[in-house]
Amino acid sequence: MVYNYESLTTDVLVIGGGGAGARAALEASRWGAKVILAGKGPVGKSGLTPTANGGYQTPFMAEDSPELYCADQLRLGCGLNDERLLKVLSEESLSCLKELEGMGAGISWQPSHFEPTLSHPRSVMIPGKVMMQVLRKSIRSERGITLAEGWLVTRLLVNEGKVWGASVFDLKRGQFILVKCPAIILATGGLGELYSNSANSPLGIPTGSVGEGCWLAAQAGCELVDMEMIQLAVVPVRPEIISGLRHLPWGPFFNSMGQEFITPGEGPYSPLAARQVAAEITEGRGPVYIDLTDKTYRSFARHPAAKVRDKTLYRLALTPFQGRIEVAVSSLFSMGGVRINEQCETSVAGLFAAGEVSGNVHGARRTAGNAFPEIMVFGRRAGKYAALFAQENTPEKDNRKASEFGVETERIKRLIASESEGDAVSPVYIKHAIQNVMDQYVHVVRDEGGLSRAENILRTMEEDFLPRLGVTGGLVAMNLSLMEAIAVPGMFKVARMIVASARARRESRGAHYREDYPQEGPVAQHTRLLWKDECPIVDMVPVERLKAV
């Protein structure tokens, strides 16, 4: 088999086919950069963005203010949010939204109260589909942006603490690509698929949210924070056809005895409500249902685009008005990730991050409707600052450092060659095995015993399975098995990063609940993670605060 590779040069490589990536690519191009927007799935159409309901928090009402918004986020985020990032978010979310409206997006401006404990209702509606439609139209009209579907970025290439390119495997052509570029934006989204029940797999189909951005960054020597902060929320699991779909009214929830048990006033993203649902199930009072069968059907969708989905669900008799819907606790969002500053810079020069892959925006709890402003505000900023960085730092001209790319292509070639021998293990099997460990030991309730057990099992499985990873079908275009095989080693690493961070946080805060340390500690600190010598190294560091003026 002959393995070709080609070499490309660009100013900015944006990795991620969802909203943050699209917004970043658009902005980088507007600042004059030549951009490649690469994604595993359909670029500018994939990730979690199009699946989202469309809540978008912005403090635009007369009685509301950016300061009140920040205070709310910091309170619900249990003090773990980076105040500098919150300030930017609070001040720029409205202009980003108006830009989308200017591009033609229809917005329902009547704010609603998805989070009962926020001081003001400030979630307006722009369904993910509508957001992506206008963004995709805009990126397609930018001549400076090349869309690259089916690109798996397998490694960031770094020299002396500075990125100079990326190693890519092009699934469509079965070819390796060396991309030389002075700036890279990670917009790879979340890691929900590390759990078996996930809102990142709407309608039961994976979206590719396996956390590879966190692994790419860690491998490049980049700092990550608060990897243990994973939002696990109440999501439908049965009928299986709508598992992972979040488009339901909030309750009422009943256990198998017909009792309501969720503390009144808790909303859909409440860690307490998630723990209460999990407790009903593990203590034998499950399954838990949302039941509105005694009520007359009404659609909760306010935006015309959201009503289409409601109609589909009604037609299929899949609303809780037509029959009970079983729920469970599923992964939804990763608050932790790559540490960024206001310019979306990471600790590696030339590496930028925006959206769910970034780590210090939402603290210990993301509030409903706060992912969309994040992807727009920080997507825009990442695009701008990456473009400016690329102007100052031209791409590498010499080939001396290409050996790193060679090592990476050899690694992938070995995966391709690992075609099923007698004791081969499929990537699907390994993925499920990782999910089982995360479900069992790294879920809503954690303790040292379970976490250390998870760490041991993950390491043992990694040593046992990875050498036997079997790819079926070989080097052909769009080989799903190969795509998953490339993802699997990173999934192990990200799972180990989460476990190590969860062990290091010996307190309970927001989404992270430790049965052996049930109290919140006196000072909010990040768990900071660096990947060294094949291991996650975690320490506790202070949270950035705004300087007193």
Partner 1 sequence: MKDVDNVTITIYRYTAGLENKPGYETYKVPVKGKMTILQALQYIYEEIDPTLGFRQYCCGVQYCNSCRMLVDGHPVHTCIKVIEKEEYTLEPLKGYEIIKDLIVDWDKKIG
Task: Compute the least distance from the CB of residue 483 to partner 1, in Å.
Answer: 8
Shortest distance (Å) from residue 464 CB to partner 1: 20
Alpha helices by DSSP H, listed for 442-540, are 448-465, 480-504
Single out the segment in contact with partner 1 by CB under 8 A; choices: 121-129, 407-415, 444-452, 457-465: 121-129
Residue 174 touches partner 1, criterion: CB under 8 A? yes
Q: Enter the DSSP assignment of 103.
A: T
Least distance between partner 1 and beta carbon 2 (Å): 12
Q: Do residues 544 and 82 lie in contact, with contact meaning Cβ atoms separated by under 8 Å?
A: yes
Q: Which of 308, 407, 523, 535 binds partner 1 (CB under 8 A)?
A: 308
Q: Considering the complex, what minimum distance in angstroms separates the CB of residue 425 from partner 1?
A: 12
Is the CB of residue 35 less than 8 Å from the CB of residue 146?
Answer: yes
Q: Which lies closer to partner 1 via its Cβ, residue 111 or residue 128?
A: 128
Residue 406 as a binder of partner 1 (CB under 8 A): the answer is: no
Number of residues that bind partner 1 (CB under 8 A): 41
CA distance 182 to 264: 51
Q: Which residues contact 473 (CB under 8 A, 6 or more apart)?
A: 479, 481, 482
Are the C-beta atoms of 165 and 181 separated by less than 8 Å? yes
Nearest approach, Cβ of residue 418 and partner 1 (Å): 13
Cβ nearer to partner 1, comparing 174 with 268: 174
Q: Please report which helix (H) or strand (E) contains residue 36, including its range.
A: strand 35-39
CB of 311 to partner 1, least distance (A): 11
Work out how close the CB of 28 gets to partner 1 at its nearest, in angstroms, rounded to a whole number.
22
Least distance between partner 1 and beta carbon 368 (Å): 19
537 binds partner 1 (CB under 8 A): no
Helical pair 480-504 and 427-441, crossing angle rounded to 10 deg: 20
- Out of 162, 472, 520, 530, the only residue in the binding site for partner 1 (CB under 8 A) is 472
Q: Does 478 bind partner 1 (CB under 8 A)?
A: yes
Minimum CB–partner distance for residue 443 and partner 1 (Å): 23
Decide if 64 contacts 120 (C-beta within 8 A): yes
CA nearest to 269, candidates 243, 246, 289? 246
User: Is 477 a residue that touches partner 1 (CB under 8 A)?
Assistant: yes
Interface pick for partner 1 out of 137, 159, 161, 172 (rule CB under 8 A): 172
- How is the beta sheet containing 55-57 ordered, strand by strand? 55-57, 123-125, 108-112
Give the pairing type, strands 35-39 and 145-149: parallel
Q: Which residues contact 531 (CB under 8 A, 6 or more apart)?
A: 218, 219, 221, 493, 497, 537
- Residue 417 contacts partner 1 per CB under 8 A: no
Residues from 268 through 307 that contact partner 1 (CB under 8 A): 305
- Asked whether 373 and 363 are in contact (CB, 8 A), the reply is no
Q: For the window 49-88, what string marks contact with partner 1 as x by the rule CB under 8 A?
A: -xx-------------------------------------
CB of 101 to partner 1, least distance (A): 19
CB closer to partner 1, 207 vs 347? 207
User: In the bound complex, what is the minimum distance in angstroms from residue 4's beta carbon to partner 1?
Assistant: 12
Closer CB to partner 1, 476 or 541, in the complex:
476
The verdict on 132 binding partner 1 (CB under 8 A) reads: yes
Task: Tally the C-alpha atoms within 13 A of residue 33's C-alpha that lie toward its C-beta.
Answer: 36
Sheet holding 351-353, edge to edge: 145-149, 35-39, 12-15, 183-186, 351-353
**What SS3 state is found at 466?**
helix
The dihedral built from the CA positions of residue 491, 192, 360 and 384, taken in this order, carries a sign that is positive
Task: Report the residue from 316, 417, 523, 546 that binds partner 1 according to the rule CB under 8 A.
Answer: 316
Residue with smaller CB distance to partner 1, 202 or 268: 202
Closest CB 128 distance from partner 1, rounded Å: 8
φ, ψ of residue 301 to 5 degrees: the values are -70, 135
Q: How far, CA to CA in Å, does 174 sit from each of 165, 270, 279? A: 19, 44, 47
Q: Which of residues 222-261 bind partner 1 (CB under 8 A)?
A: 239-241, 245
Q: Is the peptide bond before 542 cis (omega within 30 degrees of 0)?
A: no
The nearer residue to partner 1, 115 or 291, going by C-beta atoms, is: 291
What is the secondary structure of 338-371 as a DSSP string? E---TT-B-SSBTEEE-STTB-SSSTT-PPTT-H
Under a CB-based contact definition with an 8 Å cutoff, are residues 168 and 37 in contact?
no
Contacts with partner 1 in 184-223 (CB under 8 A)?
202-208
306 versus 348: smaller Cβ distance to partner 1: 306
Contact range with partner 1 by CB under 8 A, out of 37-45, 107-115, 151-159, 185-193: 37-45
Interacting residues toward partner 1 by CB under 8 A: 41-42, 45-46, 50-51, 127-129, 132-133, 149, 172, 174, 202-208, 239-241, 245, 305, 308-309, 312, 316, 318, 426, 428, 472-473, 476-481
